[in-house]
Structure formats: structure tokens, C-alpha cells
Amino acid sequence: MCIRDRNMKGQVYSRPYTSYVKRCDEEARRLKYIEGECVKYHMPIHKSIEINDYIGLMGKMQEDRRKSGSTLLDEIEIGLKQLENFLRDQGRRYQEMKEKYTWLVEYKCVLQKAEEIKQKGLYQMPILNNLEETKAPLMTEQLEPGLKFTSISGVINTEDCNRFKKLIFRVCRG
């Protein structure tokens, strides 16, 4: 098939069907995104076996709606836009839930390790009798001269990471 451009002097963007071509390109991009999401989450995609079946189905859809082809394209655009926005929103929510789940698993591991340490008796908090003792620093020779930390575990916010590193440096070396 050979297509000849009979309007070579006119600009490409001023031709009558340029806007439809752009719209079709945008819808093709949306369909590709939706297909990618379906593949990503292992959702089945049912494809038509014969092109004639597909063309017949589209003709039947147009007859059922009793609207012109341009309004059918508008409806398809609206539907695909809504589906794309829905999938983006669901993907964002899935990522948030995944991050929260990971944080909870880490928190659970920290609590389990802390419980193991407590049960083994490796760490015992000194009993403080008055208010003045509570204001005293924790890392002094008053508590236990041989007290040493071999590991520190816990969960902190990423914003507090540098501050925590400075604190550990000061406690251990400063």
C-alpha cells in the first residue's frame, strides 16, 4: 500500500486528522500502560482471536450507543483515562502498604530481639530511688563499671539517622 501526500505544502499540524492521530497515540500509550500493569500483577488479558470478530464487536457497540464514531472515541478516552488514574492510585497505595508492612516486620524483629535479650538477662535496668538519680547520665561508672554495649538495635526515622549517628559517636568515643 502506498500513500501519497497530496498536500505537501501544508504543515503537518494543520491537517484535518492530526488531532485524531494525536488522540489515538495518547490512547495507545494508555493501553500500553494498562497492559504493563496487568502483566506486572499477573492479571489475565483476553485477546480477540480474529480481527473480524473485533471489528464486529466495535460496530455492535457503536450501534448500541447510537452515537457517531467521534463520540465513541471520546467515551473510550474518558474510560481509559479513568482506568489509568485508578491504576496509578492503586499502585501508589500498594507501595505505601508495602513500605508500612516492611516497617512493621522490622519493628517486630527488633521487639523479638529485645525480648530475647531481656529473657537472657543480659541487660537489667538499675532501680532508681529518687528524682536526682533520674537526671544523671546513663553512661556513668555509677551504674556498672564493666557495662559495655556489643550491639544496638532499633528502628528510627530516616530524618533522624545523622543525628543518631552523632549521638552514638559521642557516647562511644567522645
Pairwise CA distance, residues 60 & 91, whole Å? 34
- The predicted-structure confidence for 4-34, as pLDDT tens digits, reads as follows 666 666 676 667 777 888 888 999 999 999 9
Distance CA 54, CA 60 (A): 10
Contact 12, 4 (CB under 8 A): no
C-alpha cell at 36: 504493563
Residue of 155, 50, 151, 49 whose CA lies nearest to 109: 155
pLDDT of residue 72 exceeding 90, the answer is: no
Compute the CA torsion angle 162, 168, 173, 174 (nearest 10 deg): 70
Tell me the pLDDT band of 141, cut-offs 50, 70 and 90.
very low
pLDDT attached to residue 80: 92
Q: State the pTM of this model.
A: 0.54
pLDDT category at 88 given cuts 50, 70, 90 is very high
Q: Among 40-49, 100-109, 114-123, 155-164, which range has the highest average pLDDT?
A: 100-109
